[in-house]
A = this chain, B = another copy of it.
Amino acid sequence: MEIIAVGGIGEVTHGDDVAALIADALGFPLTSGDIVVVTHKIVSKAEGALRSYSTEEERRHIVEGEAASVIRRRGDLTITLTKHGFICANAGVDRSNTAPGTLVLLPDDPDRSAQRIRAKLEHRFSVSLGVVITDTFGRPWRTGLTDVAIGVAGLPSIVDYRGTTDTHGNTLDVTEVAVADEIAAAADLVMGKASGIPVAIVRGLTFNSAESGRAAELVRDPGDDLFR
């Protein structure tokens, strides 16, 4: 498996065609089975999911407007449920990698955004692709942040090994792997945080592109969640 960083995309603005920007920046053709990993920030900018603010109070107001509910609050930190069902800091509203005085929101429907980018890139290169849109989330119990999938198209979000047997003939009882999240985390290793690399290509993973998952499947059912 290979992960190729794609730089040189430049500043993205409202109305830009993200798929065309990626295709033009690549410098090589995509091949069937490639997974295109895109940080949501350029998707949000292209979709106009931006707000201006000038004071901290305004920023907090925008965050609260984006949150479906507040899960925990401590000092400046607000852990929120978003309308998509994600639990993350500040409803995913971010002030980094954007012009000073602007905030980047999450895309309205990241699975749909992923599907759109997938369709355009598949058409452009006449291939079958996966697309993962990412954001950077914290998590309970463990320090540091990791990238996760907030939009998925053309690959499964979860691969379910339940009922398969291991090399010892044991039946695996609970092994649903969040592959889309692992792909997001893997791509983040080459994207960095301050490096202006918003896209990476994951090449060499075998997956069933007919089994197109959604990032929404990565959200645990609240009734099934021991930690809300």
Docked complex Cα distance between A228 and B225 (Å): 13
Is B181 touching A140 in the complex (CB atoms < 8 A)?
no
CB-defined contacts of A2 to chain B, threshold 8 Å: 1-3
Is B219 touching A170 in the complex (CB atoms < 8 A)?
no
> A19 near B: Cβ within 8 Å?
no
Q: What is the 8 Å Cβ interface bit string for chain A, positions 79-100, against chain B (1 contact, 0 not)?
A: 1000000110100000111111
Tell me which residues from 163 to 199 in chain A have a Cβ below 8 Å from any Cβ of chain B. 164-170, 172-179, 181-183, 185-186, 188-190, 193-194, 196
> A25 near B: Cβ within 8 Å?
no
> A139 near B: Cβ within 8 Å?
yes
Which of A61-69, A108-116, A144-152 participates in binding chain B?
A144-152
Is B175 touching A100 in the complex (CB atoms < 8 A)?
no
Pick from B136, B141, B189: contact of A227, CB below 8 A: B141
Is A178 touching B226 in the complex (CB atoms < 8 A)?
no
Is B87 touching A141 in the complex (CB atoms < 8 A)?
yes
